[in-house]
Structure 1
Amino acid sequence: MDHTKREIPVCEVCQKPANQTCGGCKLVYYCSKAHQKHAWKEGHKYICRTYKIEHSDQIGRHMVAIRDIKQGEIILQEKPAASGPRMSCAPHCLSCNKKLEPIVIEDKLDFYKCSSCKWPMCNIDCEKAEPHQEECRLMTKTNYKCNIKYEYPDKMEAAYCVIGPMRVLLMQKSNPRQFQSIMSLESHLEDRINTSLYKVLKANLITFISRVLGLPFDEETILKVASIFDTNSFDVRSPDGSKRHRAIYVMASMLNHNCKPNTRHVYLGDVNTLALIATVPISKGEMITATYTQSLYGTLDRRKHLKINKCFDCNCERCKDPTEFGTHLGNINCSICNGSSKNNTEAKMISTNPLDENAPWQCERCGYCIQSRQMFWGNNALKQELNALNKSGPKGFEEFIDKYTATLHSTNHLVIQAKLALMQIYGNYKGYTLSDLPDYLLNRKIDICHELLDVADKLKPGWSRFRGTILLELQAAMTMQTKREFEVDKITKAGAQDQLMESMTLLQEATNILRIEPHMKEILETKLQELSTLLDSTSL
């Protein structure tokens, strides 16, 4: 018999035997809810985390799990430390970040303006709102008046580049602790200082901060704040697309990048609290990662985007793999092999060294080579063509896929983006709702969903938003298909029941993934109720 003594957990407050663990960090115990609440108020809330911040010479600061984290678990919730408009954007409200529409003022179109500093705003309520008050007082005191006026729709205004950095600099007095935490973040200013963008920014931003507003900051500090924004800010958008701005989340900035991340994030409430969610189970000691770029870009585009915007070369496992985990997302078909009638399968051109953008690309079958610049040129030309398509219907996207079927295989990133657009159009757009779709287009939607789901399982597995959205679209199309087949006696009642149960399984998984997304809970509940009713009706 084993008489080894086992350590009995004790209460963090009274040191008596305890069996209740902290629901957050799972590292401390309590004998009662009363002692748990007491410990929380006394300071445990400040240290209760599922992660810790570590540092290495190779990757700098990064986040590591201090216990096993479950799929779907919220790892972190954090309010923004600072926010502001993008460097250049169409006129947006400085308080609520809503994209502004012009109104008729004195027989001409213009924006509502703040009565003091003349920046475009939504209305008097936003003018008086807290986010705009400190900056407005300063600009009014120095007699600065913004001169943005309506000229034509979506005109980009570079003047917005001053707002975010100004707000951070004003924190030195109003919130010095927050200011220091932001200034401790990586800036990569040495990598940006000589770029054409920063040469322009140097003239405009420094002139505004130092000469116009008279704030006592040297040139390096001003530019460092701008660079901190560029390096660390998150692109925050409202679900309906009407609001967009940049925000810095100090703790979330510690997340290291990976092109196959193990988390996703959502923004909650009017203050845009960032909630970080585990998309897959994360083991104790494992790095917690996010992606700083578009996961559906090929390796050439992802690494270029990261180098320009985040100032580092990504060397993750996906970037090292010339096939991108078998998706061949960034590859094209070999023109030599595909031009031969002897070969019936696709042969692909893959990079001879994915971590070197100048490395030649070689056919995996015949050895035919092309230079990397040819890949860049061709890729950029096709991207421009895809972006220029009419997005109100499916015609352009279907024609794009058909036109380049010999060059672009079925999971090339450009084809995937076209199919993603088609998935949204079929079943959701006017004239293409599920009830409008003929059977062949309904089947087309289902096939596209399965193809996208296969890519998602390899690149954005688990509870990713991408995968959840595909599941939601797939179950809706499958449910409609089942209804039609049952109504024309193509399947039996038992067969309809089986197919609807499969749809319910997909919907329940989509619900688990998407229910935390703003405005999705009610939609998902309605869909679950509708499908449950349909299941009941076919069981009669």
Structure 2
Amino acid sequence: MDYTKREMPVCDVCQRPANQTCGGCKIVYYCSKAHQKHAWKEGHKFQCRPYKIEFSDAIGRHMVATRDIKQGEIILKEKPTVSGPRISCPASCLSCNKKLEPIEVDGKLDFYKCTSCKWPMCGLDCEMAEPHKEECKLMTDNNYKCDIKYDRADKMEAAYCVIAPMRVLLLKRSNPRQYESVMSLESHLEDRINTPLYKVLKANLVTFIVRVLRLPFDEETILKVASIFDTNSFDVRSHDGSKRLRAIFVIASMMNHNCRANTRHIYIGNDNNLVLIATVPIAKGEMITATYTQSLYGTLDRRRHIKVNKCFDCDCERCKDPTELGTYLGSIYCSICNGSLANNKSKTEAKMVSTNPLDESSPWRCEACGYCIQSRQMFWGNNALKQELNTLNKSGPKGFEEFIDKYTVTLHSTNHLVIQAKLALMQIYGNYAGYKLTELSDNLLKRKIDICHELLEVADNLEPGWTRFRGTILLELQGAMTMQTKREFEAEIITKAGAQDQLMESMTLLQEATRILRIEPHMKETLETKLQELSTLLDSTNL
């Protein structure tokens, strides 16, 4: 037989034949563990990664897999190059980013203030912490004193708009290499320069940097830094809502957007390190993508949000598909086919879809009868219902159930507004006071289970794989199913064998939820407790 001779890989250190590949990048080979350790110390640890950055005229810089990446694999861990508060936010600590609560100062409520520059802080430890030292000295040397005072809870303070850009500019002296890496990112300043926000920044931010701090930067550079932040920063939030900030991760910023991304990211530690995780298997040569918007927005809202905030037009597969991958998330029922009366008995499933999803001005047409409406009608109706949904009382299910029922003739079961209402109901049923799993009626328990199944079907289409959305739904679903099984067994509706089968199904869901969510530090204890409880239930003769 004729065999084709294959070239033997060689050791990256000594160039001799090798059969051990690097476990990280799967690209380089070694002849021994000793040479692998040597290469790691000599610099491979800075090059070992399952991706590379490529450039094309069409999409600019982007991230591509250099080998097959497994579902759930960590692709990247990165520290923020620079971070800071949002342009406008409640009073927050400049060191640890916590939202501040007032304390009593001289007989009235106010915040603890840095003793030098007077910015609100947590206390002396944060005042002396590294993130605040350089900026504090600069402001103090230039006799600047912050004048933020406690007025009312959740008051938004526009003064914070200067902090993040100032920190980038200070890098030019303290860390020139990091400064250049940030300045090399896309800014889209030409698209923002004449917007109302940037007219305000011209007056406030530029004046603060040039006249107050006397830093040697021109107006264009200062506004470019602000625009780089707006284009590339990640919105970092703690799971308990106590922290929210903006951060630039230079490498992660290279990822392109896709409305059906193949990664998700979390933030860990007090330094808010970004951890990028593959939600589905990613093949060698495939682009690694993230989502810059909310996946539960319809196409009209998603594309407008991306255009306004990131200054480009998304043309991904989902955006090009009038049905949004079969979910019809942004569609409504056709009023002609369904009739206009809520008691119409002949309601059909005919839906309105955009005639050209990549052009927001295109008319919408019924798939069944061909009836058309103008895009502005879709915008107006969508915005009106969004406002109504946002004003609902979020402490209980009543408003959300009434919203779904009220618009049943107009909004189908997977319309994005209905999905958002169902997502709220999934969280309320089983978790809120008065609606804990043990307190739910059998009908409401079944309602929760049905909602979870409906949401899971949407997630499988729009956020497949190991996404936080799917993991959360699975966690809620298994809890409700377990409670339902216990009740049915105790009521002798099912046998012990039937109960064991149903509990095994719940365990399968919980195990998948655990694989998805266990990397998030705040979920570890919850998941371990749920696994132990369900295991005990399965082993118990009395369930």
TM-score normalised by the shorter chain: which range applies?
A: over 0.9
Quote the offset at 1:7 in angstroms: 2.9
Distance 2:475 2:504 in 1: 14
Is 1:374 matched with 2:377? yes
- Taking the TM superposition and a 5 Å limit, the aligned residue runs for 1:381-420 are 381-420=384-423
| Cα separation, 1, equivalents of 2:219 and 2:204 | 12
Match of 2:354 in 1: 351
Q: How many residues align?
A: 540
Deviates more, 1:435-444 or 1:517-526: 517-526
The answer on whether the counterparts of 2:468 and 2:516 sit within 8 Å (CA) in structure 1 is yes
Distance 2:181 2:538 in 1: 54
Could you say which residue in structure 2 is the equivalent of 1:325?
325
* Distance in 1, Cα, partners of 2:401 & 2:56: 48
Q: Is the 8 A contact 1:187 1:224 kept in 2?
A: yes
The answer to whether the Cα contact below 8 Å between 2:339 and 2:347 also exists between their aligned partners in 1 is no
Q: 2:465 aligns with which of 452, 462, 465?
A: 462
- What is the one-letter code of the residue matched to 2:81? A
More displaced, 25-34 or 387-396? 25-34
Measured against aligned partners, the alpha-carbon deviations of 1:304-360 in whole angstroms (never above 9, x if no partner) come to 000100000111110111110010100011111111858442211111111111111
Structure 2 residue matching 1:294: 3-state secondary structure: coil
Tell me what 1:104 maps to. Answer: 104
TM value normalised by structure 2: 0.98
CA distance in structure 1 between the aligned counterparts of 2:2 and 2:511, rounded to whole angstroms: 45
CA displacement, residues 218-270 of structure 1 (integer Å, 9 cap, x when unaligned) = 11000000000000000000010110000000000000000000100001111
How far, CA to CA, are the matches of 1:447 and 1:538 in structure 2?
29
Question: Retained in 2: the 8 A contact 1:18–1:29?
Answer: yes
Is 1:29 the counterpart of 2:29 in the alignment?
Answer: yes
Q: Which residue of 1 aligns with 2:312?
A: 312
Q: Deviations over 1:66-117 (max 9, x none)?
A: 1111111111110000000000111111011101111111111111111100
Aligned-partner Cα distance in 2 for 1:12–1:294:
44
Residue 276 of structure 2: SS of its match in structure 1?
strand
TM-score, normalized by length of structure 1? 0.98
Q: Distance in 1 between matches of 2:394 and 2:3?
A: 72
Unaligned runs of 5+ in 1: none
Q: Give the AA of the match of 1:387.
A: N
Is 1:280 the counterpart of 2:280? The answer is yes
Aligned partners of 1:322 and 1:350 also within 8 Å: yes
Instruction: Give runs of aligned pairs for residues 457-536 of structure 1, distance below 5 A.
Output: 457-536=460-539
Instruction: Give the drift of 1:22.
Output: 0.9
Q: Percent sequence identity over matched residues? A: 82
Corresponding position of 1:192: 192
The answer to whether 1:165 aligns with 2:168 is no
Check whether the contact 2:337–2:347 (CA below 8 A) recurs between aligned residues: no
1:423 aligns with 2:426: yes
Q: Secondary structure at the match of 2:113?
A: coil
Is 1:80 the counterpart of 2:116 in the alignment? no
Which sections of structure 2, spanning at least 5 residues, go unmatched? Answer: none
- Residue by residue over 1:390-430, the C-alpha shift from the partner in whole angstroms, topping out at 9 and shown as x without a partner, is 11111111111111111111100011001001101111111
| Distance in 2 between residues matched to 1:195 and 1:344, nearest whole Å | 45
In structure 1, C-alpha distance between the alignment counterparts of 2:499 and 2:29, rounded to whole Å: 50
- Distance in 2 between the 1:435 and 1:38 partners? 58
CA–CA distance in structure 2, aligned partners of residues 346 and 4 of structure 1:
59
Contact 2:86/2:161 (8 A) holds in 1: yes
Cα distance in 2 between the residues matched to 1:109 and 1:460: 45
Matched residue type, 1:399: E
Aligned to 2:206: 206
Answer whether contact 1:426 1:441 (CA < 8 A) is retained. Answer: yes
What SS class does the counterpart of residue 520 from structure 1 fall into? Answer: helix
Change (3 A) 1:539 1:434: closer
1:427-442 correspondence to structure 2 within 5 Å: 427-442=430-445
**Whole-angstrom CA distance in 1 between matches of 2:381 and 2:348:** 22
Aligned residues of 2:79 and 2:249 also touching (Cα < 8 A): yes
RMSD of aligned alpha carbons: 1.2
Native 8 Å contact 1:239 1:518 kept in 2: no
Gap change, CA 1:438 and 1:27, over 3 Å in 2: same
Do the aligned residues in 2 keep the contact of 1:456 with 1:467 (CA within 8 Å)?
yes
The Cα of 1:36 is off from its aligned counterpart by 1.4
Query: Which whole-Å CA distance do the structure 2 matches of 1:486 and 1:534 have between them?
Result: 12
**1:525 Cα shift?**
1.2
State the AA in 2 paired with 1:410: S
What SS does the corresponding residue of 1:319 show, helix, strand or coil? helix
Partner of 2:12: 12
SS class of match (1:519): helix
Structure 1 CA distance for aligned equivalents of residues 93 and 148 of structure 2: 12
> Over residues 369-388 of structure 1, what are the superposed CA-to-partner deviations in whole Å (9 max), with x where a residue is unaligned?
11111111111111111111
